[in-house]
């Protein structure tokens, strides 16, 4: 009874002012939380991934990935055998999925029909964000720099450097067909989220440098294969016979190590004007501090970047030219784009939680149309392109009354079994 009372006291607190600007336009019916699914489970959570064709929502949650049937709201299955799930990527065939397992330093391959892990692929340290690039059929796995963990921290995605020397992070590039590591890229800075535009390119946020790196999957594959060929490895012969001889090797940065290739890009010029077919660095400028995540508008070649200073920045995806900046809310983290409906969403997990909804009228005309109160720490999301629904996850907090001490020393802890999916629609 005491635990229930403490939870009620927390839940009934008045909403704090979040200082979110009022929407400028709202056409049609407003968005609202139309359902809440209690799915349980334990541990911290990270990225979500939606499969609109199978009507399944994948949730990285502690040492497992929960699979929710979005038509019923029930848990359809779970993917176990993990140490710390962070990100999920899905291939275009509907056959396999890929999970970044942070503590294991691996990508786990799973069968999407049985939810069974069928392979494990080693990566660089602390893999988090993961992307399947459909044109090149490459998997890009973003590894973090060393970080100091904060006990009880939720969704700690971005690696914080623990030394004063320049930070170096890794990107592991995997051939999805052979399930072999094609290359390991050494990148400057602390890397965060990654996303693909679907046409061979992959975008990665560099948190501590306020930049977005634009990678060319085909150029990276070509250099890695050609470098292996020069090294005379058996894997190079397999690459030649399976996918054709790669073009000439680009000068600098490739170091064959046995069957793997290491591409050291830490010394590359970090500007969009630098000439390199493999990577370009797009600057966000002072208007976007610590880019958290991003979404891609492939049709109009625009990037939507969620910034830590309660803003969303819009960039030209090719040149990096700034296009627009819009206000969001406290604790802006994940971002989603519904291309069919011209809507952009940012999940703001600070204060009491909110979802900022932005309308894209024409290519470069944007307006905040609603700021929907959600729940505390609801900072990850996925968009269902089939229905237009948006999914967020969070849990409830209560006071640990078993801990001795006075009211001022009580600690808020997650309530067992309270992990939930919020369904937003209109």
CB 21 within 8 A of CB 12: no
CATH number of the CATH domain containing 381 = 2.130.10.10
Same domain, 203 and 255: yes
Q: Out of 283, 299, 330, pick the residue that ends a domain.
A: 283
Same domain, 325 and 342: yes
**208 CB-side CA count, 13 A:** 18
User: What per-residue confidence (pLDDT) applies to 243?
Assistant: 41
The most distant pair of C-alpha atoms in the chain lies apart, rounded to whole Å, by 71
User: What per-residue confidence (pLDDT) applies to 180?
Assistant: 94
Predicted TM-score of the model (pTM)? 0.84
CB 193 within 8 A of CB 157: yes
Is residue 10 in some structural domain? no
Same domain, 302 and 330: yes
Same domain, 257 and 316: no
Is residue 155 in some structural domain? no
Is residue 150 in some structural domain? no
% helix, strand, coil for the chain, step of 5: 10, 45, 45
Same domain, 328 and 348: yes
Express each pLDDT in 263-295 by its tens digit: 999 888 776 666 678 999 999 988 899 999 999
User: What per-residue confidence (pLDDT) applies to 42?
Assistant: 87
Residue entry with tokens 């349980």: 40
Is residue 17 in some structural domain? no
Same domain, 239 and 294: no
Same domain, 228 and 118: yes
Is residue 195 in some structural domain? yes
* Residue 378 lies in domain: 23-42+290-399+409-426
Same domain, 125 and 194: yes
User: In Å, how far are 48, 67, 281, 310 from 285, measured between CA atoms?
Assistant: 28, 38, 12, 15
Q: Which two tokens stand for residue 64?
A: 């497992």
Residue entry with tokens 């009354």: 401
User: What per-residue confidence (pLDDT) applies to 111?
Assistant: 98
Is residue 125 in some structural domain? yes
CA–CA gap between residue 113 and residue 210 (Å, rounded): 40
Domain count, the chain: 2
Same domain, 314 and 424: yes
User: What per-residue confidence (pLDDT) applies to 160?
Assistant: 42
CA–CA gap between residue 386 and residue 301 (Å, rounded): 22
Sorted by sequence, the CB contacts under 8 Å of residue 221 that are 6+ apart come out as 136, 138, 173, 175, 182, 246
Q: Out of 243, 261, 283, pick the residue that ends a domain.
A: 283
Query: Minimal CA–CA distance to 215: which of 268, 292, 289?
Result: 268
Write out the chain's pLDDT in tens, 426 residues: 444 434 443 444 433 334 444 454 555 689 999 999 999 998 899 999 999 999 999 999 999 999 999 999 999 999 999 999 999 999 999 999 999 999 999 999 999 999 999 999 999 999 999 999 999 999 999 997 534 333 333 444 444 444 445 689 999 999 999 999 999 999 999 999 999 998 999 999 999 999 999 999 999 999 888 887 776 655 554 454 444 333 333 333 444 434 578 999 988 877 666 667 899 999 998 889 999 999 999 999 999 999 999 999 999 999 999 999 999 999 999 999 999 999 999 999 999 999 999 999 988 999 999 999 999 999 999 999 999 999 999 999 887 767 666 666 777 788 889 999 999 999
Is residue 198 in some structural domain? yes
Q: Out of 283, 315, 336, pick the residue that ends a domain.
A: 283
Same domain, 309 and 269: no
Give the angle 332-335-337 at the CA atoms, nearest 5°.
150
| H-helix or E-strand spanning residue 168 | strand 168-175
Same domain, 105 and 226: yes
CA–CA gap between residue 152 and residue 347 (Å, rounded): 20
């Amino acid at each position: 009874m005491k635990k229930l009372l403490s939870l009620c006291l927390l839940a009934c607190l008045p909403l704090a002012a979040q200082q979110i600007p009022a929407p400028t336009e709202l056409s049609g019916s407003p968005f609202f939380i139309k359902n809440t699914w209690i799915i349980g489970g334990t541990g911290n959570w990270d990225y979500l991934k939606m499969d609109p064709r199978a009507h399944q929502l994948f949730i990285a949650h502690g040492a497992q990935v929960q699979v929710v049937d979005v038509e019923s709201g029930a848990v359809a299955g779970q993917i176990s055998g993990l140490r710390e799930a962070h990100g999920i990527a899905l291939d275009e065939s509907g056959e396999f999925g890929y999970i970044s397992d942070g503590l294991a330093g691996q990508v786990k391959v799973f069968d999407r029909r049985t939810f069974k892990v069928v392979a494990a692929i080693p990566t660089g340290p602390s893999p988090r964000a993961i992307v399947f690039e459909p044109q090149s059929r490459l998997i890009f796995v973003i590894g973090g720099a060393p970080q100091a963990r904060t006990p009880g921290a939720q969704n700690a995605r971005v690696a914080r450097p623990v030394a004063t020397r320049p930070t170096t992070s890794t990107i592991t590039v995997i051939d999805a067909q052979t399930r072999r590591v094609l290359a390991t890229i050494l990148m400057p800075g602390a890397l965060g989220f990654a996303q693909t535009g679907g046409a061979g390119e992959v975008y990665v946020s560099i948190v501590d440098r306020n930049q977005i790196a634009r990678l060319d999957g085909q150029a990276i594959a070509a250099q890695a294969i050609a470098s292996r060929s020069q090294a005379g490895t058996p894997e190079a012969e397999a690459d030649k016979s399976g996918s054709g001889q790669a073009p000439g090797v680009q000068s600098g940065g490739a170091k064959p190590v046995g069957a793997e290739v290491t591409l050291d890009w830490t010394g590359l010029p970090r500007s969009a004007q630098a000439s390199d077919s493999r990577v370009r660095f797009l600057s966000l400028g002072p208007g976007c501090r610590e880019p958290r995540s991003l979404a891609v508008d492939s049709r109009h070649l625009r990037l939507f970047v969620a910034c830590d200073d309660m803003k969303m920045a819009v960039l030209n995806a090719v040149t990096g030219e700034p296009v627009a900046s819009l206000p969001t809310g406290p604790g802006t983290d994940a971002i989603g784009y519904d291309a069919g409906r011209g809507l952009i969403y940012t999940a703001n997990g600070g204060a009491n939680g909110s979802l900022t909804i932005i309308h894209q009228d024409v290519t470069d005309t944007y307006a905040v149309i609603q700021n929907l109160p959600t729940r505390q720490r609801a900072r990850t999301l996925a968009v269902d392109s089939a229905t237009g629904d948006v999914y967020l996850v969070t849990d409830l907090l209560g006071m640990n009354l078993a801990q001795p001490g006075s009211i001022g020393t009580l600690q808020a802890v997650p309530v067992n079994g309270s992990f939930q999916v919020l369904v937003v629609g209109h």
